[in-house]
C-alpha cells in the first residue's frame, strides 16, 4: 500500500465518511487513490478552500464528530487558514490535510508551485498538533492526529504530505492502535466543588461548548441548586431555552452581580470574569477538559479537569448531602427573565421580529447558523435554542463568511434537519461561490441575507465613536435573488418579518438550496446588550 491509499483508509478507519476538499496537482495521487473508495469516503469539493475548511468545521460542530478537509499547499492552505483559526476557537476536531512541495525542495526556496516558507510552522500555529508525513509513518500520524483531537480539548490537527511521499510504499497500516488515555478525576476537588455549590445562597451556572455532551447533568445540578443557567454562544441549547432555569446572557449578567457561587462548565468564562468583574465574595467552580483554562484569568475556588459530563456526575454524587435548603427561585428568575427579555425585544425590535419568524418556521431540531450580522448578534440573546448543536456560531473568531459553508456541512452531517444561516450583505459575499457547491451536491439549506448596503457594524462604530466619519464601509450589492437564480438556487425576497416567515416556509418545503434576501436596512445597535458593564465592585 502506498501513502495515498494508507491515508484514505486511515481516514475511513477513523470514521470520516465525507472529505471536504479542493484538489490540485500536489495532491493528485491522493485523489486518485480515493477514487476506489468513494462509497465510504465521499469527496465534497468546493469552489474555494475557505469553503472546504468551513464545511469540515460546520460538520464537526453539528455532529460532534471529527471531520477532515484536504487542500493544496501554500495558497490552498492559507485560504483555509481563517476556518482553521475558527475551528481552534470553537474547539472543533477538524483535520487539515495539506499537500506540500517535494520533500527534497522543502526549505530551499526554489520557488516551486505553491511553495511558502515553513508551511508546517503555519499549520502548527493554527492547530493543536501538526506533522509532516515522510513515508511509512503515514498511518501512525493519521492515527495520532485523531488521538490528539479526541484527547483533551478537541481542537484541529494538521498533516502535510510532500508530493513525492504520496507514492511511497511500505505503509505502516498494520501498526498498533493506541487507545485514548484516561484522565484521573480529582475527587478532593469534586468534594470541595460540591460543598461550595451546596452551601451557596445564590448560585449561578455558566456553560460553554465544553458542556455540549453534558445536558442531562447540567439540568440535574441546576434543578438541585435552583440555579439559573446562562450561555453566550457555543453552550446554547445545552439547557433547553424553554426550561424555567435557562436564562439569556443579559439575565445571567444580572444574576452574576449578586451570585455567591458560580459553576462554570466547559466555558472560558472570559466575558464574565474580565468584563462583569470578580470580587472576594464570589466563589468560582471551574470544570474544564483543558487544565490551562481552569486558572487562566484567576485561580478558581475549585478547579476540576475532566470531561464535563463525568465531572458533573461526580459532583452530583456528593451534592445532595451538602446541599442547603434554598427557596424556589423560580419567581425571581421569571421576573428577571421577563424584565431583561422585554428590554431586549423592545430595543432590538426588528432583530427580534426576524428571529421570531425564523424560530416559528425552523423545526425543533432545526439548525441555526449565525454570522457577524445584526440579526446574528441578536440571536445570541433572543433566539430560543432547544437542543445542543442546533445553534452554530464562529465563537470568538467571529469570522465573516463562515455561515453559508458551515450551514451546508451541518446539513450534510444531519441530513434530516432543516438548516438556516443568517448573514449580512458583507459577510455573505465572502463565500457566496459555495451556492454552486450547494447545487452540485444537492444540499438543501436556506441562506438568509440581510442587506443594509454596508459593513453595517463597522459603519455603526464609525458613526458612534469616530465623529460620524464613515469610511470604507459602504457596499454596492448585486441583486441577491438574481444571484441565487444564476446558480440554480431558489431565490426569494422578503421585505418584512411576516414575509420572511412565508418565504422561509416555502424555502424549507422546497427541499432545495434557497436564498432569501431581506432588505432590512440599518438595525438598532445590539452591542450594549453584549458588552455589558462591570457589575461587581473590585475588592
Ligand atoms: C473575516 C472577517 N473580516 C473582517 C471582519 C470585521 N467585521 C466585523 S463586522 C463587519 C461588517 C459585517 O457586515 P455585514 O456582513 O454586512 O453585516 P451587518 O453588520 O451589516 O449586519 C466586519 C467587516 C470580520 N469579523 N471577519
Q: pLDDT confidence of 372, banded at 50, 70, 90?
A: very high
CA 468 from centroid of its chain's CA atoms = 34
At residue 163, the pLDDT reads 98
Q: pLDDT confidence of 179, banded at 50, 70, 90?
A: confident
Q: pLDDT confidence of 173, banded at 50, 70, 90?
A: confident
Task: Give bridge partners of residue 246 from the DSSP assignment.
Answer: 229
At residue 175, the pLDDT reads 83
- Ligand 1 atom nearest residue 428's Cα: 15
Q: Region 73-78: what's the mean pLDDT?
A: 98
Q: Is the pLDDT of residue 506 over 80?
A: yes
User: In this predicted model, what pLDDT tens digit does every residue of 418-461 receive, in sequence order?
Assistant: 999 999 999 999 999 999 999 999 999 999 999 999 999 999 99
Torsion angle of C-alpha atoms 32, 36, 38, 41, degrees rounded to 10: -80
At residue 110, the pLDDT reads 98
Please identify which residue in the block is written with the cell numbers 469616530.
466
Any ligand 1 atom below 6 A from CB of 398: yes
Q: pLDDT confidence of 171, banded at 50, 70, 90?
A: confident
- Ligand 1 atom nearest residue 456's Cα: 20
Mean pLDDT of the chain: 97
By the 8 A CB rule, do 407 and 448 touch? no
- Ligand 1 atom nearest residue 452's Cα: 20
DSSP 239-251: S-TTSTTEE-HHH
Residue 383 Cα to ligand 1 midpoint, Å, equals 20
Select the more confidently predicted residue: 325 or 203. 203
Task: Tell me if residue 203 falls in helix, strand or coil.
Answer: strand
Per DSSP, which regions of 414-500 are E strands? Answer: 419-424, 446-450, 490-493
User: In this predicted model, what pLDDT tens digit does every residue of 219-228 receive, in sequence order?
Assistant: 999 999 999 9
Q: Is the pLDDT of residue 180 over 90?
A: no
Q: pLDDT confidence of 181, banded at 50, 70, 90?
A: confident
Task: Give bridge partners of residue 67 from the DSSP assignment.
Answer: 94
Q: Region 377-406: what's the mean pLDDT?
A: 98
What global pTM score does this model have?
A: 0.98
User: In this predicted model, what pLDDT tens digit does every residue of 85-137 receive, in sequence order?
Assistant: 999 999 999 999 999 999 999 999 999 999 999 999 999 999 999 999 998 99
- Separation in Å, CA 99 to CA 127, 159, 216, 490: 16, 8, 42, 36
At residue 418, the pLDDT reads 98
Rounded CA separation 539/526 (Å): 30
Q: Which of 454, 305, 411, 311 is nearest to 58 (CA)?
A: 411
Any ligand 1 atom below 6 A from CB of 454: yes
- Separation in Å, CA 496 to CA 358, 408, 504: 12, 25, 12
Q: Is the pLDDT of residue 539 over 80?
A: no
Residue 503 zone, left/alpha/beta (φ > 0; ψ -120 to 50; rest) = alpha
Q: Which of 185, 202, 485, 493 is nearest to 314 (CA)?
A: 185
CA-closest residue to ligand 1 atom 3: 400
- Ligand 1 atom nearest residue 423's Cα: 15
Residue 148 Cα to ligand 1 midpoint, Å, equals 33
At residue 524, the pLDDT reads 97
Residue 396 Cα to ligand 1 midpoint, Å, equals 14
Q: Region 228-253: what's the mean pLDDT?
A: 97
By the 8 A CB rule, do 268 and 211 touch? no
Residue 355 Cα to ligand 1 midpoint, Å, equals 19
Any ligand 1 atom below 6 A from CB of 451: no
Torsion angle of C-alpha atoms 184, 188, 191, 195, degrees rounded to 10: -140
**Which of 427, 458, 527 for a ligand 1 pocket mutation test, highest count of atoms within 8 Å of Cβ?**
427
Any ligand 1 atom below 6 A from CB of 372: yes
Q: Which of 323, 341, 328 is nearest to 261 (CA)?
A: 323
CA-closest residue to ligand 1 atom 11: 455
Q: pLDDT confidence of 172, banded at 50, 70, 90?
A: confident
Handedness of CA 213, 293, 151, 3 (dihedral sign): positive
At residue 134, the pLDDT reads 96
**Which of 457, 463, 471, 524 for a ligand 1 pocket mutation test, highest count of atoms within 8 Å of Cβ?**
457
CA 424 from centroid of its chain's CA atoms = 18
CA 21 from centroid of its chain's CA atoms = 20
User: In this predicted model, what pLDDT tens digit does every residue of 28-45 receive, in sequence order?
Assistant: 999 999 999 999 999 999
Sheet containing 203-207: give its strands across. Answer: 246-247, 229-231, 203-207, 261-265, 283-288, 302-305
At residue 182, the pLDDT reads 77
Burial of 165 (0-12, 13-18, 19+ CB in 10 A): buried
At residue 184, the pLDDT reads 87
At residue 176, the pLDDT reads 84
Task: Give bridge partners of residue 43 from the DSSP assignment.
Answer: 19
**Helix runs in 226-322, H state only:** 249-257, 270-271, 291-294, 308-322
Residue 522 Cα to ligand 1 midpoint, Å, equals 14
CA 309 from centroid of its chain's CA atoms = 19
Q: Is the pLDDT of residue 174 over 90?
A: no
Q: Is the pLDDT of residue 351 over 80?
A: yes
Residue 423 Cα to ligand 1 midpoint, Å, equals 9
**Helix runs in 263-307, H state only:** 270-271, 291-294
CA-closest residue to ligand 1 atom 12: 455
Amino acid at each position: 500500500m502506498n501513502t495515498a491509499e494508507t491515508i484514505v483508509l486511515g481516514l475511513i478507519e477513523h470514521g470520516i465518511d465525507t472529505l471536504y476538499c479542493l484538489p490540485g496537482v500536489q495532491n493528485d495521487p491522493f485523489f486518485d487513490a480515493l477514487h476506489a473508495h468513494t462509497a465510504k469516503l465521499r469527496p465534497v469539493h468546493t469552489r474555494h478552500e475557505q469553503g472546504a475548511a468551513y464545511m469540515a468545521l460546520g460538520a464537526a460542530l453539528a455532529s460532534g464528530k471529527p471531520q477532515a478537509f484536504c487542500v493544496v499547499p501554500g495558497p490552498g492552505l492559507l485560504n483555509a487558514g481563517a476556518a482553521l483559526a475558527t475551528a481552534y476557537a470553537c474547539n472543533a476536531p477538524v483535520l487539515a490535510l495539506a499537500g506540500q512541495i517535494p520533500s527534497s525542495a522543502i526549505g530551499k526556496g526554489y520557488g516551486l508551485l505553491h511553495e511558502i516558507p515553513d508551511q508546517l510552522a503555519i499549520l502548527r500555529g493554527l492547530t493543536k498538533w501538526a506533522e509532516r508525513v515522510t513515508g511509512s509513518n503515514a498511518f501512525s500520524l493519521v492515527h495520532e492526529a485523531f488521538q490528539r483531537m479526541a484527547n483533551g480539548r478537541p481542537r484541529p490537527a494538521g498533516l502535510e504530505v510532500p508530493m513525492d511521499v504520496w507514492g511511497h510504499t511500505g505503509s505502516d497500516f498494520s501498526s498498533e492502535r493506541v487507545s485514548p488515555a484516561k484522565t484521573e478525576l480529582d475527587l478532593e476537588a469534586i468534594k470541595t466543588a460540591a460543598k461550595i455549590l451546596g452551601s451557596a445562597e445564590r448560585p449561578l451556572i455558566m456553560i460553554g461548548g465544553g458542556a455540549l455532551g453534558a445536558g442531562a447533568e447540567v439540568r440535574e445540578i441546576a434543578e438541585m441548586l435552583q440555579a439559573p443557567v446562562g450561555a453566550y454562544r457555543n453552550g446554547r441549547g445545552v439547557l433547553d431555552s424553554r426550561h424555567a432555569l435557562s436564562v439569556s446572557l443579559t439575565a445571567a449578567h444580572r444574576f452574576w452581580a449578586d451570585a455567591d457561587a458560580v459553576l462554570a462548565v466547559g466555558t472560558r468564562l472570559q466575558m464574565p470574569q474580565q468584563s462583569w468583574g470578580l470580587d472576594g465574595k464570589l466563589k468560582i467552580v471551574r470544570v474544564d477538559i483543558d487544565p490551562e483554562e481552569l486558572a487562566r484569568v484567576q485561580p478558581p475556588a475549585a478547579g476540576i479537569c475532566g470531561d464535563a459530563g463525568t465531572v458533573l456526575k461526580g459532583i452530583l454524587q456528593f451534592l445532595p448531602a451538602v446541599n442547603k435548603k434554598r427557596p424556589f427561585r423560580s419567581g425571581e428568575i421569571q421576573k428577571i427573565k421577563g424584565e431583561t427579555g422585554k428590554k431586549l425585544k423592545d430595543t432590538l425590535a426588528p432583530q427580534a421580529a426576524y428571529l421570531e419568524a425564523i424560530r416559528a418556521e425552523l423545526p425543533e431540531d432545526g439548525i441555526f447558523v449565525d454570522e457577524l450580522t445584526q440579526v446574528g448578534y441578536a440571536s445570541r440573546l433572543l433566539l430560543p435554542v432547544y437542543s445542543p448543536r442546533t445553534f452554530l456560531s464562529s465563537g470568538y473568531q467571529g469570522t465573516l463568511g463562515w455561515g453559508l459553508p458551515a450551514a451546508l456541512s451541518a446539513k450534510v452531517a444531519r441530513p434530516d434537519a432543516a438548516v438556516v444561516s443568517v448573514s449580512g450583505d458583507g459577510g455573505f459575499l465572502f463565500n457566496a461561490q459555495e451556492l454552486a457547491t450547494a447545487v452540485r451536491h444537492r444540499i438543501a439549506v436556506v441562506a438568509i441575507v440581510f442587506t443594509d448596503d454596508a459593513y453595517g457594524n463597522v459603519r455603526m462604530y464609525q458613526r458612534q465613536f469616530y465623529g460620524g466619519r464613515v469610511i470604507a464601509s459602504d457596499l454596492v450589492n448585486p441583486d441577491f435573488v438574481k444571484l441565487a437564480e444564476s446558480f440554480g438556487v431558489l431565490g426569494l425576497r422578503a421585505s418584512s418579518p411576516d414575509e420572511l416567515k412565508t418565504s422561509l416556509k416555502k424555502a424549507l418545503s422546497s427541499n432545495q438550496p434557497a436564498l432569501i434576501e431581506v432588505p432590512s436596512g440599518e438595525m438598532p445597535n445590539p452591542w450594549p446588550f453584549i458588552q455589558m458593564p462591570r457589575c461587581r465592585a473590585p475588592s
